[in-house]
Amino acid sequence: MNAPLVLSPEALLKIDRAIAKYPPDRRQSAVMAALTIAQDEKGWLAAETLDFVARYLGMPPIAVYEVASFYTMYDLKPVGRHKLTICTNLPCALQGAAAAAAHLKQKLGVDFNETTGDGSFTLKEGECMGACGDAPVVLHNNKRMLSWMTPEKLDQLIAELKSK
Amino acid sequence: MNAPLPPFSPGIYGPDALILKDLTGLNWRLKDYEARGGYQALKKILAENIAPEQIINEVKKSALRGRGGAGFPTGLKWSFMPRQYEGRKYLVCNSDEGEPGTFKDRDILRYNPHIVIEGMLIAGYATGSAAGYNYIHGEIWDVFERCEEALEEARAAGYVGRNILGSEFAFELYNHHGYGAYICGEETALLESLEGKKGMPRFKPPFPASYGLYGKPTTINNTETFAAVPWIILNGGEAFLNLGRPNNGGTKIFSVTGDVERPGNYEVNLGTPFARLLEMAGGMRGGKKLKACIPGGSSMPVLPWDIMMATDMDYDSIAKAGSMLGSGAVIIMDETRCMVRSLLRLSYFYFEESCGQCTPCREGTGWLYRVVDRIEHGKGKAADLDLLTEVSDNIQGRTICALGDAAALPVKSFIKHFRDEFLHHIEHGKCLVPDYV
């Protein structure tokens, strides 16, 4: 029972709040919230973190691995400090997302699913984020959505993130 | 580049707007919603002790059809919930909006979250559900946080919880987020996901009304569907029906994207001519000519410009024209767009998002993507168009959920209406249009 704490008490408090949304015998329903909270704290989801979430929710580890590998926003490998995901689906592509994606690749010197040498940026190709009217749309570290990302605004964003 | 940033003008969604009426992007809080007449429908129901059956009848009269894609009659769906069931029943809101081209639920939730809460409360009352969950697309995190805040406001004001507004009515409501899986917009995949599993669709029957969340009777509706309910209660089902057309009641929010001057959401009465909607979106970008339009989200058949210009925007008219209203995502393509390249991007999407449960979809979406890819890149073979049709036919109707059909329908319709472009790619190894996506 005295397994070392993988997550901070603050993170556990957040997970407990998520668990409280579901019937007492349905703690598993909180797994997506728990994995999100864990990833926010750790940067990515290592096996040790997944095992901890499994123990915390009373789930078989394989059931947690299944969830973590099914949903694309969970990272099962380390990513750069700034993960940029750009949607290139058809409606966005018609509004300049293809050019924006090419600009990002050229600017960062990486292709999709690659991380810059200094570990600052990981670039991902996203599927529909449900914000097509704002295209081109970039998601920064899963949580911050940036709209109408013209090449000029992408340059500003990269400069802003580099200085952090 | 012209979509709204708050504060924006309240008329931006169009003069017909009910759900998005008077919004400025900043007036989303409880007090603002109450000032717009919010929560009056719920108060009326509780004060007058209106019977659940009566509410369901009113919704049936309104001809409110599911706004998520399938267009199923909402009142009828509610009536499937077993009345005498003694255990817990559930209500679920499908805000997992990820159908390419669709972003209406995002605007409803971030700019008018309480209208969805009120709609869910009324539906919870009508179906006798004990609790509800609003499943929100993972990519729109700021919207999830706003919904959490709005829900706290509603709870603090006594709209959610036990003894709502001093009555016997009790209803618990929670927000739940996804984290990147298109398939969870399918209602039974969403239920699996809500139970903390991979989002793989379930066999139907049993339908959610008999075996839903945690195996309990469950009603699932789209965000926009719930958002239409308070108006129906206050103004009557018939008034809602009369805004649209027979069997197509009310307003519908269309998300217009692609080659138009002002991509964005426009809420119009069902039956509004497509030409009017296009005009509201500022017309074609740069004055170019309309070539094609997908009128209901990327899963629906594409239609050529002349058919679209003669079509009205309601479920039955679009079906008659050969496509479907779907989620109301209107994707506009102008004369410079290559149809092969456009289909390639959609085929990649379905290949990427197939959950892998059913063999025809898991394998078939890969075939579709690879064959369209080789046509696009000048390596197509003469027999490829027949091959694409055959693979599509072998997916369509042979999978547990509609994602299989969603992958097959665009392919068949693109080839049907734009065969010459595909043939040109195959015969000449290059594009018929000079400038493309």
Q: pLDDT digits over B91-104, tens only?
A: 999 999 999 999 99
Residues of B whose CB is below 8 A from A128: 98-102, 182, 298, 349
Q: CA B145, B98, B109, B118: dihedral to nearest 10 degrees?
A: -110
How many angstroms away from the CA of B275 is the closest CA of chain A?
A: 19
- pLDDT for position B5: 83
Q: Which residues of B fall within a CB distance of 8 Å from A95? A: 257-258, 263
- Give the model confidence (pLDDT) of B254-294 as tens digits: 999 999 999 999 999 999 999 999 999 999 999 999 999 99
The alpha-carbon radius of gyration of chain B (Å, integer) is 22
* Binary contact (A132, B181; C-beta < 8 A): no
At B340-353, the pLDDT tens digits run: 999 999 999 999 99
| Three-state secondary structure call for residue B342 | helix
Q: Which residue of B has its CA nearest to A31?
A: B196
Euclidean distance between CA atoms A142 and A138, whole angstroms = 9
Q: Are B105 and B222 in contact (CB under 8 A)?
A: yes
Residue B44 near residue B233 (C-beta atoms within 8 A):
yes
Q: What is the mean pLDDT of chain B?
A: 96
CA distance between the termini of chain B: 18
Name residue B275's amino acid.
Answer: A
Instruction: Choose among B133, B165, B137: nearest CA to B151.
Output: B133
Q: What is the pLDDT of residue A5?
A: 76
Cis peptide before B7 (omega within 30 of 0): yes
User: Each residue of B36-62: pLDDT tens digit?
Assistant: 999 999 999 999 999 999 999 999 999
Per-residue pLDDT of chain A (164 residues; tens, 9 = 90+): 445 679 999 999 999 999 999 999 999 999 999 999 999 999 999 999 999 999 999 999 999 999 999 999 999 999 999 999 999 999 999 999 999 999 999 999 999 999 999 999 999 999 999 999 999 999 999 999 999 999 999 999 999 999 88
On whether the CB atoms of residues A100 and A154 are closer than 8 A, the answer is: yes
* 3-class DSSP state of B129: coil
Contact B37, B233 (CB under 8 A): no
> Confidence class of residue B1 from pLDDT cuts 50, 70 and 90?
very low
Q: Is B114 helix (H, G, I), strand (E, B) or coil?
A: helix
Is residue B7 pLDDT above 70, yes or no? yes
- DSSP label at residue A134: G
Task: Provide, rounded to the nearest whole percent, the portion of chain B with pLDDT above 70.
Answer: 98
Please tell me the distance in Å from A163's CA to the nearest CA on chain B. Answer: 24
Give all strands (DSSP E) within A8-109, no chain letters.
82-87
Half-sphere exposure (Cβ direction) of B271: Cα atoms closer than 13 Å: 11
Q: Give tens-digit pLDDT for B213-237.
A: 999 999 999 999 999 999 999 999 9
Query: What's the rounded Cα separation, in Å, for the pair B179 and B389?
Result: 33
From chain A, the residues in CB contact with B136 under 8 A are none
- Would you state the pLDDT for residue A1? 45
Nearest to A85 by CA among B141, B296, B379, B22: B141
* pLDDT surpassing 80 at residue B419: yes
Residues B6 and B26: beta-carbon distance below 8 Å: yes
Which run of H or of E encompasses B50?
A: none
pLDDT given at position B391? 98
Mean pLDDT of B158-185: 97
Query: How near does any CA of chain B get to the CA of A38, in Å?
Result: 13
